[in-house]
Chain A
Amino acid sequence: MESNRLTKLFSSGRKNLLSVFYTAGYPRLNDTVRIGKALEQSGADFVEIGIPFSDPVADGPTIQASNKVALDNGINLHLLVEQVAELRKISEIPIILMGYLNPVVQYGVEAFCEDAAAAGVDGLILADMPLEEFMTEYKPVFDKHSLHNTFLISPTTSEERIRRIDDVSTAFVYAVAASSTTGAKERFTDEQIAYFQRLKALNMKNPVMIGFGIANNSSFSQACEYGAGAVVGSAFINVLRESKDIEQDIPRFVNSLKNGKAV
């Protein structure tokens, strides 16, 4: 795992990390590579590339719609892995693939891990793969190919379970900011801040990235106070949907998130 880019990033101890989620094959089929490259150049610390799925139950309307467009564009998991390999030729940004279990199961878990690792993927987040199944069925395969698997925790996750997830996590733990599906929100509530404080007080062994509902510099900065950094997804998909010039709008968006102003 030493050469894994996520391992390196998180062992550097850097703070205020920004991860950006975007859907592969969206808004156009072949945008996956240039969006990843533009994010790296703009200062994103790592990317989560969404594996489109017909039934994304943990996602809100924005990411659901991007999944549908990407599938209509003709994306599939084999093509996605090829796109990642292309991106890897021109970029060293750590890459996570994020999605649901079924496309990976149909690809074949072993074959997928092998191909993904060869293409330059550093980790996976599979929203509907439970901890128990991962430990018994999949962990050896992931380990063999030096792929991290990241688990989610939410405001309703018990402390006991958070400890267990922290214990088996490798790169970082993904804290879902609210009891909700994905989607951009204006600001955090007092209840959410209390939850972040509670997490911080747990002194987990893994760094925590906070995601779901982060849309602007104020929520990004707030999340960074309590964790190693934050993940932005739906707000970025909204930018991509409206953008007429991706190369110009991506640096502007990343800059506004990190610094509170566009350049």
Chain B
Amino acid sequence: MTYQVDERGYYGKFGGAYIPEMLYPNVEELRTHYLDIWNDPKFQEEFRALLRDYVGRPTPLYYARRLSEAVGAQVYLKREDLCHTGAHKVNNTIGQILLARRLGKEKIIAETGAGQHGVATATVCALMGMECIVYMGKVDMERQRPNVERMRILGATVVPALSGNMTLKDATNEAMRHWINHPTDTHYIIGSVVGPHPYPDMVARFQSVISEEIKMQLEQAIGRPHPDWVIACVGGGSNAAGAYYHYLDDVRVKLVGVEAAGHGLDSGESAATTALGRPGVLHGSKTLLMQTDDGQVIEPYSISAGLDYPGIGPMHAHLFDTGRVQFVSATDDEAMGAGIRLSRLEGIIPAIESAHALAALNKLKFSKRDVVVVNLSGRGDKDLETYIRWGKY
């Protein structure tokens, strides 16, 4: 059993490259070059140097003493929230912009939900002096205003997506349309492990630095590289892909994915794809998808803009299908409560996406000696408005 992508671009029965012919040359160009570029020592050197000097890696693996006492396990937080720009997203945008430069691209486009990927893209475009257009649902632009302004300060053009529910799915549609209309000089930096092959594998590799560091840091902290559990939230699934990556074949490690249940799995307002989805095709890959019997994609809901997506990456669909990853879900209330708890116990205000991962600590059975790593994918600065509106603190 392998959990990695095969040579046809599939993870088991999920994945592939379901794209209009107009995008075939772009995606084919990436497919034929990405592994050579990734394996080039010069590329690795450049990538690693920027992760170290610019992003601030390695991020700490922090033993959360008070949280551990409350949970009844040995809880470590992988502090991706301390990355430059405030979340793990920048690991991928650094990798992709270096790759785009190697391919001779002059312009960058991206989609964004909460704005974290948009900010991370605008940041690396400023760093490299490249033109940047970010598509963002109009509704998300309203609920994540500070991130919109951050992108503008960084010199990016933010274009509102006005179709559908005007959230992440629609921003992705608009970015794909832009790419169809500008096929030769533009690279599309997809922000998660979604999209046509090779994007899911490429993004997972750029994020795999997370579990690479966890292994070394655990070795130092507890004398062995593997924890008993790794827990991460899953929207499209990029932070989870990075946190699982080097443990996928190590069955001693229980892997948990936490999806957003919104107002509850039965409420009709949810984004828990593995619980509510069926196999389908969207945004270039065959994966699990929330949809009607007629194959129309259902508009998801979550309090967290970053988890508000109706699908998951094909790698995660396969990990769910094979049972390698246990998927649970957390409601808006459970996530917000877990976010407040971390703030009070550890002095860390997490992003609401990451708060979903923390909420799973109440849902799983640990023994006191279990070593549990929670990937704290982002910080809560961008979510202050939502915390304030929620109010129960």
Contact = CB atoms under 8 A, between A and B. Distances in A.
Q: Do A and B come from one complex?
A: yes
B interface bracket (residues with beta carbon within 8 Å of A): 35 or more
A131 B26 CA distance: 16
Interface in A101-122: 101-107
A128 B296 contact: no
25 contacts: A53-B295, A54-B297, A55-B297, A57-B20, A57-B177, A58-B22, A58-B177, A59-B177, A76-B294, A106-B291, A106-B293, A128-B19, A128-B281, A130-B17, A130-B19, A154-B21, A156-B26, A156-B184, A161-B24, A179-B22, A179-B182, A179-B183, A180-B180, A181-B177, A181-B181
B16 interface: yes
A58 B180 contact: yes
Contacts of A179: 22, 180-184
B280 interface: yes
B173 interface: yes
Contacts of B293: 106
A153 interface: yes
Interface of A: 53-60, 64, 68, 71, 76-78, 100-107, 127-131, 133, 151-154, 156-158, 161, 176, 179-181
Given A57-B177, A179-B183, A181-B181, A130 B24 contact: yes
Contacts of B57: none
Contacts of B283: 55, 57
Interface in B272-309: 278-284, 289, 291, 293-297
Contacts of A128: 18-20, 281, 284
Nearest to B26: A156
B194 to A, nearest CB: 13
A146 to B, nearest CB: 24
B176 interface: yes
B176 A57 contact: yes
B183 A156 contact: yes
Given A101-B18, A156-B22, A55 B177 contact: no
Nearest to A101: B281
Contact of A129 (B18, B181, B291): B18
Interface in B107-163: 163
Contact of B295 (A64, A103, A133, A180): A103
A117 B21 CA distance: 25
Main secondary structure of the interface of B (DSSP, over half): mixed
A54 B276 CA distance: 18
Contacts of A131: 21
Interface string B174-188: 001100111110000
Contacts of B268: none
B104 interface: no
A240 to B, nearest CB: 20
Point out which of A57, A129, A157, A180 has the most chain B C-beta atoms below 10 A from its C-beta.
A57
Given A130-B18, A156-B25, A161-B24, A53 B281 contact: no
B56 interface: no
A55 B294 contact: no
Nearest to A52: B296
Contacts of B284: 128
A156 B26 CA distance: 9
Contact of A107 (B16, B169, B181, B295): B295
A133 B17 CA distance: 9
A140 to B, nearest CB: 18
Contact of A158 (B22, B25, B173): B25
Contact of A55 (B19, B169, B181, B279): B169
Nearest to B21: A152
A53 B25 contact: no
A106 B181 contact: no
B22 A55 contact: no
Given A128-B281, A157-B25, A133 B181 contact: no
Contacts of B294: 76-78, 103, 106-107
Contacts of A161: 24
Contacts of A107: 294-295
A176 B177 contact: no
Contacts of B296: 53-54, 71, 103
Interface in B3-25: 16-22, 24-25
Given A57-B173, A133-B16, A180-B181, A105 B281 contact: yes
A103 B283 CA distance: 14
